Amino acid sequence: MSFKELPHTADIKIQARAPTLEALFSESCNALMETIYGKDRGAKDTIGIDVAAGDTESLLADFLSEVLFRSEVDGMVFSGAEVRIAGTRLHAVMGEPFDSKRHAVGTEVKGISYSGLAITHDTNGYMLEILFDV
């Protein structure tokens, strides 16, 4: 599993790769949280997130939007998400309380963009490109 930032003129564009769809969703959550809070994260407490959508791309965007919402409203920081996907339903468990001494080092993300959102699958696994609105 891995992710990297790609060049983009206005927002943050991420490319992620993983062997399974669940791992790809977890890696995209990692990319979002690292963008916002840096690398010093570790799940000490956990909360559950449940999301349903009409297709895989919408499921990913809705999942990351919910992660962003929970981060802002509940003061949670996420890493190492345990993601389970059944069709177009997702359940994830992860989280730790925000700690200003460890987490305030990144870029504010305002939302998850559908523009250019693409999930592909081949013999090497899954790949994703997504924009974070900053």
pLDDT at 101: 76
pLDDT band at 93 (very low <50, low <70, confident <90, very high): confident
- Digit-coded pLDDT (tens) for 30-77: 999 989 987 766 656 778 999 999 999 999 999 999 999 999 998 888
Largest CA distance in the chain: 42
6, exposed or middle or buried, with CB in 10 Å at 0-12, 13-18, 19+?
Answer: exposed
Question: What is the pLDDT, as a whole number, of residue 44?
Answer: 64
Locate the domains of the chain by residue range.
2-133
CB atoms inside a 10 Å sphere around CB 17: 17
CATH class held by domain 2-133: alpha beta
